[in-house]
Amino acid sequence: MGSSYSVKYLRTASGPSVDQARGEVERILAEIDRQMSTYRADSEVERFNALPAGSCMALPAPMLELVTFAGELSKDSEGAFDMTLEPLLNLWGFGPQSHGDQVPSAEAIAAARADVGQRHLAVRGQELCKDAAVQLDFNSIAAGYAVDRVVARLGELGIDSALVEITGELKAVGLKPDGTPWRIAIEAPRDDRQVAQKVLRLDGLGVSTSGDYRNYFEKNGQRYSHTLDPQTGAPIRHKLAAVTVVDESALRADGLSTLLMVLGPEAGEAYAEAKGIAAFFVIRDGQGFVSHGSSRFRERFELEEQ
């Protein structure tokens, strides 16, 4: 995934050794990489992406599961979530086949959008079919999925207390030796240094943060985020700097944080309230930031602090 992972767990006499646990984790990550990496030409997703419009291809069950999940998110958000944006990401300089940061023309964006859209995909049995030359990109949900897979496998090995982090997505289960939950910090959106904005206590919960304060470029005084709005084919332009989602499923948290980041402060907050999502929003306000949690987030975390 072009990044790092970290696993911390409470070891028991009957549990696996560190080497055994590491081997199991890396086996899962290697499998996901073979299936979903857009940075290797021999992956399943890149083989699918190379097919022309009107093609079908048999894919492993996990990939079909994630495509179905993404399709539901896309439909539920009226297209705000879309995992077929790779041509646009490449165009803006954020994708695996990009050629550096650039601001493309309206004509180039329109041409790329012709082959973008979750609606062009259909799962038929064990195959995925496309009626346009769409290119899949699992990067908005693959890490969350990997976290859930790793946590589940550790549980099968007898590990009931662990903190798993993969490319920044994480999940914690069980209690530490002193009987307290695992604690993680939500990072404040600063370019210069890492600052903890809020500390959460977790047990059985996944956490995902999406933001535009790390991966962006500037041209002629304008800031361009790596998060693209599928409706415009261009980077988001609203004032939402970051959003964190907490959910029992790290996969769901991963997808929802991207979805809410695309929607922006007003629409994103309305969506979180309507769906009962535990989300924490950080919004630009002049030279600073204001932040607040959704109703579900406040119920889950802020009340426990009182």
Using CA atoms, how far residue 20 sits from 153, 154, 161, 260, in Å, is 12, 10, 16, 38
pLDDT at position 302 over 80: no
Angstrom distance (rounded) from CA 185 to CA 222 = 30
Angstrom distance (rounded) from CA 90 to CA 305 = 44
Angstrom distance (rounded) from CA 269 to CA 292 = 10
Tell me: the pLDDT tens digits for 229-268? 898 988 888 889 899 999 999 999 999 999 999 999 999 9
| Contact call for residues 280 and 291 (beta carbons, < 8 A) | yes
Angstrom distance (rounded) from CA 133 to CA 54 = 8
Residue whose token pair is 């650039």: 102
Global pTM reads: 0.91
Average model confidence (pLDDT) across the chain: 90
Q: What is the pLDDT confidence band of residue 214, given thresholds at 50, 70 and 90?
A: low
Per-residue model confidence (pLDDT) at position 250: 98
pLDDT at position 120 over 50: yes
Angstrom distance (rounded) from CA 189 to CA 211 = 8
Task: Return the SS3 of 140.
Answer: coil
Per-residue model confidence (pLDDT) at position 306: 41
Strands, E assignment, the chain? 5-9, 55-58, 121-124, 127-130, 162-166, 169-173, 182-187, 196-202, 205-211, 216-219, 222-225, 228-229, 234-235, 240-247, 278-285, 288-293
Q: Which CATH superfamily is domain 170-305 in?
A: ApbE-like domains (3.10.520.10)
| Contact call for residues 264 and 236 (beta carbons, < 8 A) | yes
> Domain boundaries in the chain?
170-305
Task: Single out the residue of 209, 206, 208 nearest to residue 163, CA to CA.
Answer: 206
Tell me: the pLDDT tens digits for 68-104? 999 999 999 999 999 999 888 888 888 766 666 778 8
Residue whose token pair is 């079908």: 56
Tell me: the pLDDT tens digits for 7-62? 999 998 888 999 999 999 999 999 999 999 988 999 999 999 999 999 999 999 99
